[in-house]
């Protein structure tokens, strides 16, 4: 009887420890400081007095307008996160609208703080994500209007319009501030640039190719 109680207590203790973990960060990093006058509030934004809230705090009309796809990738992502909808603060969700020109690409990228569920409204998209090392498995599917595909948190994923007409998709993300890291821009368009010695060895290409890629204009998509 005593051992059973001990086991039950141990399980409860570990469960309590697991539940006591830190909340997921809502920014890339947070450097500790001692003097709060130079500090900022993190993991969300300051809250408005609930008595002063209005319907407009929970409203955004920006997703009704098509995004401008006149760029080298032929796509545009329009976000609806806590920066556009203040009422999303602390609610752990956000949205995006993605417009694609014919053969437009939303290039390989990750969301470090969110899982994404994408629904196609118009057009035909080839989508996929790649799992982490060591397997690096590619999961891919062709989506039609009404289809939904899920991209797990933190994994590299993409969408490519394989049709001859425009495409439109909406996606929900499991964070008010999911973040986005576009792989090509982060690697070849960082500020300041990553050493060409590093990139030449990492990608097994010569430095001239690295210099060429770093000289390109990388969009924010």
Q: Show the domain range for 215.
A: 181-220
Domain count, the chain: 2
Asked if 137 and 199 sit in the same domain, the reply is no
Asked if 174 and 187 sit in the same domain, the reply is no
Is 220 annotated to bind a ligand? Reply is no
Tell me: the pLDDT tens digits for 8-32?
Answer: 544 444 444 444 445 677 777 666 5
pTM: 0.83
Asked if 211 and 149 sit in the same domain, the reply is no
Tell me: the pLDDT tens digits for 47-97?
Answer: 888 888 899 999 999 999 999 999 999 999 999 999 999 988 888 899 999
- Following CA atoms 59, 64, 65, 71 in sequence, which dihedral angle do they give, to the nearest 10 degrees? 100
Q: Mean pLDDT across the stretch 29-43?
A: 64
Confidence (pLDDT) at 43: 67
Confidence (pLDDT) at 46: 79
Asked if 79 and 154 sit in the same domain, the reply is yes
Average pLDDT, the chain: 87
Residue 94 lies in a domain: yes
Asked if 115 and 158 sit in the same domain, the reply is yes
Residue 192 lies in a domain: yes
Is 153 annotated to bind a ligand? Reply is no
56 CB-near residues (< 8 Å, 6+ apart)? none
Q: Mean pLDDT across the stretch 182-203?
A: 95
Residue 84 lies in a domain: yes
The number of angstroms, rounded, from the C-alpha of 108 to the middle of its chain's C-alpha atoms is 11
Tell me: the pLDDT tens digits for 113-129?
Answer: 999 999 999 999 999 99
Residue 37 lies in a domain: no
Asked if 102 and 151 sit in the same domain, the reply is yes
Confidence (pLDDT) at 52: 85
Asked if 194 and 118 sit in the same domain, the reply is no
Is 133 annotated to bind a ligand? Reply is no
Residue 7 lies in a domain: no
Is residue 187 very low, low, confident or very high in pLDDT (cuts 50, 70, 90)?
very high
Residue 166 in contact with residue 101, Cβ under 8 Å? yes
Is 122 annotated to bind a ligand? Reply is no
CATH of the domain at 111: 2.60.120.10
Confidence (pLDDT) at 11: 46
Asked if 173 and 69 sit in the same domain, the reply is yes
Asked if 196 and 132 sit in the same domain, the reply is no
Other CB atoms within 10 Å distance of the CB of residue 145: 14
């Amino acid at each position: 009887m005593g051992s059973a109680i001990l086991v039950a207590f141990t399980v409860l203790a570990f469960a309590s420890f697991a539940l006591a973990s830190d909340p997921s960060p809502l920014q890339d990093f947070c450097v500790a400081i001692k003097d709060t006058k130079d500090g900022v509030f993190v993991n969300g934004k300051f809250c408005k007095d609930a008595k002063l809230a209005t319907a407009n705090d929970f409203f955004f009309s920006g997703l009704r307008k098509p995004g401008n796809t006149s760029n080298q990738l032929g796509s545009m992502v329009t976000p609806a996160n806590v920066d556009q909808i203040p009422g999303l603060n602390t609610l752990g969700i956000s949205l995006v609208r993605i417009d694609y020109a014919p053969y437009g690409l939303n290039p390989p990228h990750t969301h470090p703080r969110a899982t994404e569920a994408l629904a196609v409204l118009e057009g035909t998209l080839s989508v996929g994500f790649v799992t982490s090392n060591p397997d690096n498995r590619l999961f891919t599917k062709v989506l039609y209007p009404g289809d939904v595909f899920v991209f797990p948190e933190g994994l590299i994923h993409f969408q490519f319009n394989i049709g001859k007409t425009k495409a439109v998709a909406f996606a929900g993300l499991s964070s008010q501030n999911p973040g986005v890291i576009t792989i090509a821009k982060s690697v070849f368009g960082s500020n300041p640039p990553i050493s060409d010695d590093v990139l030449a060895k990492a990608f097994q290409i010569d430095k001239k190719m690295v210099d060429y890629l770093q000289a390109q204009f990388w969009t924010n998509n």
